[in-house]
Amino acid sequence: MAKARTRKTSTRRNTGSRKKTSPARRRRSSRKGLPPWLRFLGLALALVAFVGGFVAASYVVRLDRVVVAKFAGKPFRVPSRVFSAPTIVYPGLDQHLVDLRGTLVRLGYRESSDTKNLAPGRFVWSSGRVRVHLRAFEHPTRREPARDVVFRLSGNIIEEIREFPGGREVGAVQIEPEQIGAYYGPNREQRDLVTLDEVPDHLIDAVLAVEDQRFQSHPGIDLRRIGGAMLANLRAGRVAQGGSTLTQQLVKNFFLTPERTLKRKMQEAVMALLVEVRYDKAAILTAYLNEIYFGQRGPTAIHGVGEATRLYFGKKPRELQVEESALLAAIIQSPNGLSPHRGSERALKRRNLVLELMHEQGRIDAATLERSRAIGLHLASISPDPGDARYFLDLLRRQLAEGYDSEVLTSDGLQIYSTLDRRLQRIAANSLRGGIEQLEKRYPKLKRDDPAKAVQGCLVAMRPQTGELLALVGGRSYGVSQFDRCTQARRPTGSVFKPFVYIAALEPVRGRPAITLADFLDDSPLEISTSQGAWRPENYDRKFNGRVHVREAIERSLNVATARLANDIGIARVADVARRLGIESRLPLVPSLSLGTADVSPIEIARAYATIASGGIRPETQTIEDLVDASGQTLERRRLHFERVLAPGTAFLATSLLAGVADRGTAKGVRGTGLRGPIAAKTGTTDGERDLWFVGFTPELVAVVWIGFDEPESVGVPSSVGALPIWRKFVKEATGGRIRGAFMRPKDVESVEIEPSTGARALPGCPTHHPEYFLAGTAPEQTCPDRPERRRRHREETERGFMKWLRRNF
C-alpha cells in the first residue's frame, strides 16, 4: 500500500512539474511543421487578394468618375436647329404660291376625313374648302396659339379665312416655320430634349412594360430577368431575348461600345449599379428617354422620344395618344427593323404586343386596350431633305462663328430663326439647276464630263425694303461643290454696273444733275488715255450710233455712250455712288470701271439694286430674325439698319430707266412668258462672254443670277440667253406670273410731256410727244413749238418752284 501511494505521489509531482505551452508557441510549433511550399502559396494568395481588391476598387472608382462626369456635365449633344420664316396666308393669295398642302405635309400635318374631332396637326382638304387645325408654335416675336381655321377657295385663290366653329373672319394666319437644317456634331445625332413633366404617363408605362417592368424595384441589374433570358435563349438555341435592364441599356448607349463580350457585360453591370447608387430613378428615366436610339432619317441618327415623336407623328410628346406611345416603345428593340415606314405589319404587331403587356401589368384597362388596338398606324409624312438650303446654312454658320464657336453650335441646342423663305428657296434651286441644264442641252459644247468643271451659277433673292435674304443658291450642286458663288466669288459685273453711272449723272450736284432723262448722249468712237495706254471702248455689236437718247443708251446697253458719260462726270463720282449703294469690293478708279470691270460678288449687287428699289434707302443684309438658347432665352434679335444714301427722286429715275430696259431693252425677254406687272432689270455680259449676269427687281423682290465657269472661259452666249431665262422662271413661279404693287413716284419727281427728237417740253400743237420724269425744277426750258416768251416765263416759274422745294426740304 505504501509503495502504491508513493508511486501516485510521484506521478502527481512529475505531472505538476511540466511547463505549460502557450497558444502562440503552439502555432509556431505547428508552422515549423508546414511544408515551405504551402507557406509560400498562402502568402501569394493573400497578396493576390490584396492586390486584386485594390485593383477592383480602383476600377470601380474610375468607372464611378466616368459616370459622374457624364451626368454632371453635358450628357447630350443637341444640334442647333435652323428654321425658315413662318408662312403667312391671307385672303387673295393663290394657295399654290405658298404650296399650302406641301407645307402642311412637310410640317407633319396629317390629312383626315374626321370633320367632327379635328385634332391639332390635322387638316381636311375638300373642294373649295380647306380646314386646318393649326398647331401652336413658340417664336420669339411671332408666337401663335393653336387655332382651327377654314380657308374658302375660289379656284386656287383663298377668298376668306374664318375661325371654326365660331366663324369669325381672320385677316391672316401664320403657319409654323419649317426646319431647314441643323448644325450637327461628329455623330450627326438629332434629339429634342424632354423632361418627365413633358412626357405622358402612358409613354413611360409603355416603355417600362416592354423594356423593364421591374425598373422601379431593381438596383440596376435584374437577376430574375437575366435568368429568364438565359432560359429562353437555351430553349431557342440562340440569343432570342436580352436580360439588360433599362439602366444597363442607358449605360451601354452612354459609355460603352456595342460589342458583345463578357468583359463589356461585366463593365455594363458594374456601371449600372453605380448609376443606381448615384442617381434617383427619375434622373435615370429622363436620361434614357432622351438617349434611346429610334432609327435614321437619311444620314442623321434620331435619338430620344422628343425627336422620335416629331418624326413619326409630327407632334410634341405631351400630345401622344396611348397607341402612339405603344408604337414608340415597340420599335426600341429594333428601330430600323421595326420602323413603321418600312414594315407597317411588323410594327403594328409589336405595337399590339406592347399594348397587351401594358394591360397584363395593369397599366391600362381593357377598354383602353381594345380601343387602342383597333386604331391603325397613322404616321406623319416624311419629306426627304432636298438639301437646297445648304449654301444658306453655310453662310449663316460663317456669320454665327463671329459670336459662337463650333462646339456651341453643335451641342447647345440653339434655335435659329432665319429670314429664308422656304418656298422661294425651293423655286430658286430648281430654277437655277433646270436653267443650266437647259442651257447645256441647247448648247452641247458647254457640257463637261467632269462635274467639277461644269457650267456653274448662283441665284440670290432679297426683300429690298428690309435686306432680308429670302433665297440663296450658291451653285448647281452642293454635293459637287460647296463653294458659294453668291457670297464667296467675285467676278467682273459687266453692264449690271452701268446703272451706277447713270445714277451718278442724274444725282444733283450743287443743285443740278449732269443729265435728265430727256437728254442725249454721244455714242461715237471714244479714246481715253490711261497709264496702260489708250482705251477705246466698243459696243457689243461693234457699231457706233452717234447721238442717242439717255433711255436708248441704257436700254440697248451701249458701252461707248456710257463710258463717255462716266468720263465726263468723273469716275470717282461713279465709284462713290456704287459704294453708297452697297458695293464693298475694291473699285479701281479706271475708265473701264464704268463698264463693270471690277470684281464684285452677286450678293453685293443684290444689295445695291435693293437700295435703288427701296427708294434710295440702303438696308443691311439680314439672315437671322431671332436666336434662342435651349431654355428659350433670346440671345439675339434682328435689328434692322437703314441709311438713306440716295434721294428718293434720283432712285425713282434710275428705277424708271431700268423698267424701260425690261420693257423695251436687252431685258425685254422677261416678258416672254407672260410675266405681268412692274419689273426693273439689267443684263450684264463681260468681255468674251465669260460672265453672264441678270439683275431685276419688283416692288417686293430683288434677285440676281450669275452664270459662268469657275475657271473663267467663254460661255458663248449673252446674258439674255444664259441668265435671263433663269431669273424669269424664278420670278414667274414666285409670283404666279402676276407681280403685285407699283413703283411709286415720290413727290420730288414730276411728269412732263416732251418732244422725243429734241427733248423739248411739248406744248399744245407739238406733233409728237410722250411723258417723261424729271426731278422738280429740272424739266427742259426749250419748248415745242419753240416760244421764247413762254420759255422765259417757264424758267422763272421753274426757278420759283425749285427755291420752294429747296426751302421745304433743306
pLDDT, tens digit, 9 for 90 and up, residues 311-348: 898 888 999 999 999 999 999 988 888 988 887 889 99
Residues 722 and 749: their CA atoms lie apart, in Å, by 36
Q: Considering the chain, tell me which residue range(s) the CATH 3.30.2060.10 domain(s) occupy.
A: 87-178
For residue 240, the model assigns a pLDDT of 46
- Which of 269-273, 479-483, 596-600 has maximum average pLDDT? 596-600
Q: Which fold has domain 87-178?
A: Penicillin-binding protein 1b fold (3.30.2060)
Among residues of the chain, what percentage have pLDDT more than 70?
86
Tally of CA atoms within 13 A in the half-sphere of 453 that contains its CB: 7
CA pair distance 208, 196, nearest whole angstrom = 14
- CATH class of the domain whose range is 493-597: alpha beta
pLDDT in tens, 160-219: 999 998 889 999 999 999 999 999 888 888 999 999 999 999 999 999 999 988 888 888
| Arithmetic mean of pLDDT, 590-617 | 97
> In the 8-state DSSP scheme, what is residue 575?
H
For the four alpha carbons of 78, 84, 85 and 88, in that order, the dihedral sign comes to negative
* Cα–Cα nearest to 624, from 489, 466, 474: 466
Least confident window among 106-120, 197-211, 237-251: 237-251
Looking at the chain, which residues constitute the CATH 3.40.710.10 domain(s)? 493-597
Q: How far apart are CA 76 and CA 79, in angstroms?
A: 10
List CB contacts of 713: < 8 A, sequence separation 6 or more: 690
Segment 72-87 shows an average pLDDT of 87
446 bridge partner residues: none
- In this structure, the number of other CB atoms found within 10 A of the CB of residue 158 comes to 21
For residue 344, what pLDDT is reported? 82
The predicted model gives 778-791 an average pLDDT of 75
pLDDT digits (tens, 9 = 90+) for 347-376: 999 999 999 999 999 999 999 999 999 999
pLDDT at 268: 78
Q: Please tell me the predicted confidence (pLDDT) of residue 234.
A: 60
pLDDT value of residue 8: 42
Which residue reads 467675285 in cell numbers? 490
Beta-ladder partners of 97: none
CA distance 321 to 317: 9
Could you tell me if 609 and 695 are in contact, meaning their C-beta atoms sit under 8 angstroms apart? yes
How confident is the model over 27-55, as pLDDT tens digits?
455 455 667 766 666 666 766 666 666 66
- Looking at residue 700, its pLDDT comes to 95
Cis ω on the peptide bond leading into residue 317 (within 30° of 0)? no
Higher pLDDT, 513 or 59: 513
- Return the beta strands (E) in 499-590 as ranges: 520-523, 528-530, 533-535, 546-549
Can you tell me the mean pLDDT for 497-521?
95
What kind and span of H or E run contains 692?
Answer: strand 691-697
**Rounded Cα distance, 412 and 80, in Å:** 7
183-373: CATH architecture? Orthogonal Bundle (1.10)
Q: Where are the alpha helices (DSSP H) in 146-222?
A: 201-211
Q: What is the mean pLDDT of residues 755-769?
A: 90
| Burial track 230-240 (b if 16+ CB lie within 10 A, e otherwise) | eeeeeeeeeee
Q: Provide the grid cell at 560.
A: 461707248
C-alpha distance from residue 774 to each of 507, 748, 783 (Å): 11, 8, 15
How many CB atoms are closer than 10 A to CB 478?
A: 19
Task: Provide the residue type at 61 as one letter.
Answer: V
Query: What angle separates helix 36-72 from helix 262-278, to the nearest 10 degrees?
Result: 60
Question: What integer pLDDT is reported at residue 259 of this predicted model?
Answer: 65
pLDDT at 3: 44
Each residue's pLDDT tens digit, 541-591: 999 999 999 999 999 999 999 999 999 999 999 999 999 999 999 999 999
Q: Across residues 760-767, what is the average pLDDT?
A: 90
Spatial CA neighbour of 565 closest among 579, 581, 580, 577: 577
In the prediction, which pLDDT does 628 show? 92
Any idea which residue has 373649295 for its cell?
Answer: 128
Quick: pLDDT tens for 299-309. Answer: 889 999 999 99
pLDDT at site 125: 93
Q: Note the pLDDT of residue 13.
A: 42
Contact 777, 521 (CB under 8 A): no
The residue-averaged pLDDT of 474-489 equals 94
Question: How, if at all, do strands 642-644 and 680-685 pair?
Answer: unpaired
Whether residue 678 contacts residue 701, with contact meaning beta carbons closer than 8 Å, is answered with no
Task: Output the DSSP codes for 786-806.
Answer: --HHHHHHHHHHHHHHHHHHH
Residue 26 has pLDDT above 60, yes or no: no
Report the SS3 class of residue 370. Answer: helix
Chain centroid to Cα 413, Å, comes to 14
Per-residue pLDDT reduced to its tens digit, 226-242: 666 566 556 655 544 55
- Rg over alpha carbons for the chain, rounded to the nearest Å, is 40
In sequence order, what are the residues at sequence separation of 6 or more whose Cβ sits closer than 8 angstroms to the Cβ of residue 398?
none
Provide the pLDDT for residue 14: 45
Burial of 773 (0-12, 13-18, 19+ CB in 10 A): buried
Q: What is the distance between the alpha carbons of residues 101 and 547, in angstroms, rounded to a whole number? A: 56
Residues of the chain with CATH 1.10.3810.10: 183-373
- For the chain, the average pLDDT equals 87
d(CA 368, CA 270): 39
Is the model's pLDDT at 267 over the cut of 80? Answer: no
pLDDT value of residue 337: 87
**Phi, psi values for residue 800, rounded to 5°:** -65, -45
Per residue in 699-729, pLDDT tens? 999 999 999 999 999 999 999 999 999 999 9
Tens of pLDDT, residues 213-230: 888 888 888 777 666 656
